[in-house]
Structure 1
């Protein structure tokens, strides 16, 4: 989880693709932030907070920088199970279309399994195979999001 309620390309907790090809440009910056979601009726719970977050997006391109942050999330549905905790010192990421690269230092730990694939991470090192396929090492990595096709 990226620490936000709406993930790039997928609406958080729904697995529904979002269309980004005609997306207008916008940018935002926050000193501090916090978010919580408790949709127990459809099995999604999330809480996160952090300091320093800047984001820019235009069409299929995204760039993001985050300072120290932490989050925890869980999703239990008929089609998937996910549980993840994240503590991040700093990160920068850039994406274009289905490709996303991240450079950072984090300790993501958790697992996910469902129709969309399998994910496992321990202290920021792990993999995902499925609609999102990638690997990470201590919070830095590359990911290909095939659900955006």
Structure 2
């Protein structure tokens, strides 16, 4: 059985540094922008993202991101629901998060 889906995605950015060690991750990003849309049997979504800069870290299922961004869009499917307007919003499902103006605190359900 195959899952049917269709979508489009574009991304551009300047500068990214990433490090991983076991369950720990750290990342720093420069200016970036992306846009995407997807529809399929498992869900639908459209999101536009623009970010001036950010730094993030994860330790296992918990992550924190400090940045300035204006993500806007909505997605819903079997993995959960995400809604953001100008970088402020939430995600509930496999990834639970709260975002304010591009900074975010998240917990991934395993």
TM-score range, shorter chain: over 0.9
Instruction: Tell me what 2:91 maps to.
Output: 128
Deviations 1:75-102 (A, max 9, x none): 2111111110011000000001111100
- Distance in 1 between the 2:25 and 2:87 partners? 22
Instruction: Tell me what 1:19 maps to.
Output: none
Higher relative contact order (CA 8 A, sep 6+): 2
Instruction: Tell me what 1:35 maps to.
Output: none
Instruction: Tell me what 2:63 maps to.
Output: 100
Q: Give every structure 1 segment of 4 or more consecutive aligned residues whose post-TM-superposition deviation is greater than 6 Å.
A: none
* Alpha-carbon offset, residue 45 of structure 1: 2.0
Superposed CA RMSD: 1.4
- Of 55-64 and 119-128, the range deviating more from structure 2: 55-64
TM-score, normalised with respect to structure 1: 0.69
Contact 2:8–2:37 at 8 Å: present in 1 too? Answer: yes
Alignment partner of 1:75 out of 18, 30, 38: 38
Structure 1 regions of 5+ residues with no counterpart?
Answer: 1-13, 15-40
Classify the secondary structure of the residue corresponding to 2:15: strand
More strand by share: 2
- Distance in 1 between the 2:7 and 2:58 partners? 26
